[in-house]
Structure 1
């Protein structure tokens, strides 16, 4: 789920980079102890040691900080490429499960989606983040097609969406935790459906 921060940009070094690290670290630590709704720019300033006016000038809002945090955290998720489609799906499912089960990451996702319901700007940024991450990992599917493991007309985005959906349903709708069974069944369901041609173009996609 990669996305550019909504306001400002980070240079690789210097005070700007140090400021970004300090504020994002403070936000990540805060979200491990309290909900998104409790987070304020003043709290971030106190935790990070960065003046609130600097935070407001760069990110404008708490949502701006947390979108940047989501982009930074999700960029560390691996994209498996072992040469075996089934194994890759299981590894990706485990990575998604680990990410969504962490309290801080869950608070980030839940808070941003709540904010997106009331702010079109946040909605657009969140959508771009999820679309960007999906695009990144579709190479798992494309490589499987190239190897002849999947039908040539398989829709790679649909496969990844089917893999990830159960995790977000568990976290956002059921408010439950991620377990090994969910990781396994999500990967296996996506694998067998893809192999069976469920995600092909079909009559409606021709």
Structure 2
């Protein structure tokens, strides 16, 4: 469920027409800049130099850094990510939690997603884009919950969004609030707690 942070190396071929290639090149440059400099240090000039797209075009099409950042998140959400399907509800939640942990496993992996979160505190447009990104991810996770309900592993009416929030919240608390180390054990613990709560009906909305 993480934001995809890896940017293709310069010169990598990209599918689609010229517009799609330009958009992808700009997205790659934004992500690279976030990883290297963070949101405060990122500039249109950097994106122009990295992407090979003239800054006049960047301003005309994206309006500035907020527009560039928002579109980078939109593109990050246009991937083929699907929630885990391990064959069991508990296994799916464990795998989901470990995906989140892995996306922050080291400085290289964590740089871009951390910068996206930091940018959301400094730009309302970035915050809106980040909310939309995760809302779409929550929607995809509905399939995981539907399978669990069908197998009798979760009660009918379980809210996928509330469940996924419960899996990831302890991990993000450690990462961004208490600044504690995060490892696979922390991910498994978060998943186990969410699994037990789901089985007890904690994520069924009150009527």
Does the alignment reach a TM-score above 0.5?
Answer: yes
Does the CA contact (< 8 Å) of 1:154 and 1:200 recur in 2?
Answer: yes
In the aligned structure 2, how far is the partner of 1:172 from the partner of 1:138?
26
CA RMSD for the aligned pairs? Answer: 2.2
The equivalent of 2:46 in structure 1 is 43
Equivalences for residues 45-194 of structure 1 within 5 A: 45-74=48-77, 75=79, 77-101=81-105, 102-116=110-124, 121-194=125-198
Question: Residues 113 and 130 of structure 1: is their aligned pair in 2 closer, same or farther, counting only changes over 3 Å?
Answer: farther
Equivalent in 20, 23, 27 of residue 24 of structure 1: 27
Question: Residues 99 and 65 of structure 1: is their aligned pair in 2 closer, same or farther, counting only changes over 3 Å?
Answer: farther
In the aligned structure 2, how far is the partner of 1:178 from the partner of 1:65?
30
Q: How many residues in Structure 1 have an aligned counterpart in Structure 2?
A: 190
- With the length of structure 1 as denominator, give the TM-score of the two structures: 0.82
Question: Residues 174 and 114 of structure 1: is their aligned pair in 2 closer, same or farther, counting only changes over 3 Å?
Answer: farther
Offset of residue 23 of structure 1: 1.1
**Residue 36 of structure 2: SS of its match in structure 1?**
coil
**Residue 37 of structure 2: SS of its match in structure 1?**
coil
Offset of residue 37 of structure 1: 0.9
The equivalent of 1:13 in structure 2 is 16
Offset of residue 186 of structure 1: 1.1
Q: Which runs of 5+ in 2 are unaligned?
A: 3-14
**Residue 35 of structure 1: SS of its match in structure 2?**
helix
Does the CA contact (< 8 Å) of 2:74 and 2:129 recur in 1?
Answer: no
Question: Residues 123 and 28 of structure 1: is their aligned pair in 2 closer, same or farther, counting only changes over 3 Å?
Answer: closer
Question: Residues 51 and 78 of structure 1: is their aligned pair in 2 closer, same or farther, counting only changes over 3 Å?
Answer: same
Offset of residue 93 of structure 1: 0.9
Offset of residue 188 of structure 1: 0.8
- With the length of structure 2 as denominator, give the TM-score of the two structures: 0.81
Offset of residue 76 of structure 1: 5.3
Q: Which runs of 5+ in 1 are unaligned?
A: 3-11
Offset of residue 181 of structure 1: 1.9
Offset of residue 154 of structure 1: 2.1
In the aligned structure 2, how far is the partner of 1:122 from the partner of 1:32?
16
